[in-house]
Amino acid sequence: MQWQFDYIRSNIKPQTIRQISQLDDESLVLVMAGLICKLVGGLKYVPNKRYKSQLAKELIMAKYPKWRVLELAEIGERTYFNILKRIKDGKS
């Protein structure tokens, strides 16, 4: 159990927590859900990609700059533009 605690502790990044604390409630919930998905990712299947896409969609709709969406949602530019296109086409 000690190694599991050490692993979790080593993956907590204060800078990320500071960034997260500046988000609105909905975005904060999405980020926390994603972090939990990452923590339990080795235990069973968790939908990491889905949460990242949903978070990116929420951030784009909240008018966050592109670089911030890419950084917070941890997605690539291609995914960013695909999500942006779906929002503009009304398929969100």
Q: What pLDDT digit, counting tens, does each position of 24-65 carry?
A: 787 777 777 777 777 766 655 556 677 788 888 888 888 889
- In the predicted model, is pLDDT for residue 86 greater than 80? yes
Q: What pLDDT digit, counting tens, does each position of 61-77 carry?
A: 888 899 988 988 889 99
CA distance 12 to 77: 25
* Token reading at 26: 């909905």
Which residue stretches of the chain are H helix?
A: 2-10, 14-20, 25-39, 48-61, 66-73, 77-88
First-residue to last-residue Cα distance in the chain? 42
Split at pLDDT 50, 70, 90, the class of 16 is: confident
Q: Would you kindly state where each structural domain of the chain is located, as residue ranges?
A: 1-41, 48-89
